[in-house]
Structure 1
Amino acid sequence: MILPLRAIACQILFIFLTIAIESTVIHRQLKITKRTSTYYAVSINLICVVIGWVIFFYIFQNLNPANLFKVQTISFIFTGRLIVDFGRDGIEPILVLSLVSVFFVSLFVKCQSLYILQRFKLLPVENLSLYEDVEHTRSERLIRYRVKADQNHAITIGHAISHAIILLILVFMVFLF
């Protein structure tokens, strides 16, 4: 059995980097404790990674073995490079479309997983008291909607920043190594 150690190391690096960035953004945007923001970031990112790898292996398993995308993916995972002049079938548009869809799907998964974890009381809604003090006349449902909207906004900002930094690291890795 061959292990893609480079891919595993990069995944671990990116998880730690993403958790650090997103927990900082969540802490500052939502004005909650660092511990709770770290719990939020760790939970949503681990759920997102697990779901992402399950989807990746499901799609990858159903590809045709002679498919250019499958060959290029295996090459990139094990060597960190795409095969140059392999077929010239235009893998770049597929790669860009895949990256954009991964960005939005992972953002959706993060927002929904935080909401679900809070609904099942697995994660606390720490900043709920801030809204209840200010808005006595509003119903609990509207307060929860506003909390969710603020949380989604904070997750979106952290997600965008972390993906931008990961993209820069990947560009440096491609050009330097």
Structure 2
Amino acid sequence: MIANVFPFRTVLVQILIMFLAIAIEAWFLQKLLKLEPKTSVEYTAILNLSCTCVGWLVFFGIESVISKDLRERLIGYILLGGSQDIYPAITLIAVSVLAVTFLAKWQGLEIIENIVSGNKKASKPQFIGPPTLSRRLPKKTFQVTTQFGGILIAHTVSNFVILTVLFLQSVNN
């Protein structure tokens, strides 16, 4: 009985997507923000799990207030893989979710680091060394050192890979 009602395929795809996102984002956070591998996996797991839980809660909240026709088409698409007439709405929702989850992950990483460090702000290191004789500015190189940049790159790449996998899955069906 439960197999007829419970959307096993949707849950399984969601879990696999989450594992893929955690792996990709952890690698980027490790490389770009110079985190240890274990720390980057823990941070991305916490961020992705919390974003997924909140996302499903928001989905069920929105689902309860939209029209019956749109609700049936949306749930049919998500749970059963539905028709193409809902693609514009799905695209708008996907872009909104991409932006909101990025902001949530960025703020969530700051919250996690504040909790882990015990709300202690590290003082900025001061350069101690001989003064330079020239007024030439140091050569600028592209380097992502901010949390914002690291999360933006990691989140964008992981979502691009996930969308590519979902697109390839839909083409095969």
* TM-score, structure 2 normalization: 0.79
Aligned residue identity for 2:83: I
Confirm or deny: 8 A CA contact 1:4 1:77 kept in the other structure.
no
The counterpart of 2:151, out of the listed 123, 147, 155, is 155
- Decide whether the 8 Å contact of 2:25 with 2:158 is kept in 1: yes
Larger Rg: 2
Matched, 1:117 2:120: no
Matched, 1:108 2:103: yes
Q: Secondary structure at the match of 1:32?
A: coil
Unaligned stretches of 5+ in structure 1?
85-89, 137-148
Matched-pair contact (CA < 8 Å) for 1:6–1:77? no
In 2, Cα distance between the equivalents of 1:49 and 1:7?
A: 13
Match of 1:76 in 2: 77
**Alignment equivalent of 1:5, drawn from 3, 8, 11:** 8
Give runs of aligned pairs for residues 8-157 of structure 1, distance below 5 A: 8-65=11-68, 67=69, 69-80=70-81, 82-83=82-83, 91-119=86-114, 121=115, 123-124=116-117, 132-133=124-125, 150-157=146-153
In the alignment, residue 61 of structure 2 is paired with which amino acid? Y
Residue correspondences, number = 152
Deviations 1:25-44 (A, max 9, x none): 00000112111111111111
Farther off after superposition, 92-101 or 9-18:
92-101
- In structure 2, runs of 5+ residues without a counterpart are 129-144
Q: Give the fraction of aligned pairs with identical amino acids, expressed as a percent.
A: 30
Q: CA RMSD in A?
A: 2.2
Change in Cα spacing, 1:8 to 1:124, as seen in structure 2 (3 Å) is farther
Instruction: Return the offset for 1:52.
Output: 0.7
Kindly indicate whether structure 1 or structure 2 has the higher relative contact order, using CA contacts under 8 Å at least 6 residues apart.
Answer: 2
